[in-house]
């Protein structure tokens, strides 16, 4: 499903800003759910970016040159603590939550991201399988609805074993035992 003009405009400008710094990134959250699953209302765009050797201040500067402003005073301490830059895209007036990738899972999602065309620009999108993992992990009612939408739309094209192995890894890392069970419940509903 194509994105509406607001999110598409935001992603075009974001792509230009991040390309200027050669930073890897991907779209996740509700915008990814719109593409992989079913439409739903959302008022923001969620993106993960790996900074590498780039300073957060340089990132904010590049984003400013492409029409983004901070929604809050993001001091270095704030950025270290939250690992999120809350931004506003001036042209579309949409919120952008830019998550700074940490080691591990987010790097894995970066490696498995999929290139999609948005308004003529190639944009990296979290894979459908990894989106399901993030939504199961979040576990809110709207996230589970997103899982159902992706399962219904992608069905047999999904790498279900990849979802299961990632959830199993997360359960071990987090000391939880409910993630895989929740996925299996939703997966069985599809059948």
In the chain, where are the structural domains located?
A: 5-126, 133-190
Q: How far is 150 from 117, CA to CA, in rounded Å? A: 19
Strands (E), 7-158: 25-28, 44-49, 68-70, 84-89, 94-100, 114-118, 121-125
pLDDT digits (tens, 9 = 90+) for 79-117: 778 889 999 999 999 999 999 998 889 999 999 999 999
**What would the pLDDT profile of 7-33 be if each residue is shown by its tens digit?**
889 999 999 999 999 999 999 999 999
What phi, psi does 152 have (nearest 5°)? -70, -40
Q: Give, in words, the CATH class of 5-126.
A: alpha beta
**Which distant-in-sequence residues (6+ apart) come within 8 Å of 149 by Cβ?**
33, 36, 37, 38, 40
Q: Whole-structure pTM over 0.85, yes or no?
A: yes
DSSP bridge partners of 49? 25, 100
DSSP lists the bridge partners of residue 48 as: 26, 99
């Amino acid at each position: 499903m194509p994105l509406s003009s607001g999110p598409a405009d935001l992603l075009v400008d974001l792509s230009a800003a991040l390309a200027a710094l050669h930073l890897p990134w991907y779209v996740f959250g509700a915008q990814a759910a719109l593409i992989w699953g079913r439409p739903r209302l959302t008022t923001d765009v969620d993106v993960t970016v790996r900074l590498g050797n780039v300073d957060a201040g340089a990132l904010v500067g590049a984003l400013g040159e492409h029409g983004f402003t901070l929604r809050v005073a993001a001091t270095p301490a704030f950025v270290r603590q939250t690992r999120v830059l809350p931004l506003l895209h001036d042209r579309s007036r949409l919120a952008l939550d830019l998550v700074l990738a940490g080691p591990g899972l987010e790097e894995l999602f970066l490696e498995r991201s999929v290139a999609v065309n948005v308004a003529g620009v190639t944009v990296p999108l979290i894979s459908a399988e990894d989106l399901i993992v993030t939504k199961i992990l979040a576990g809110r009612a709207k996230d589970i609805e997103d899982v159902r939408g992706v399962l219904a739309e992608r069905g047999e094209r999904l790498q279900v074993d990849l979802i299961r192995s990632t959830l199993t890894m997360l359960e071990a890392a987090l000391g939880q035992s409910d993630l895989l069970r929740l996925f299996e419940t939703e997966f069985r509903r599809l059948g």
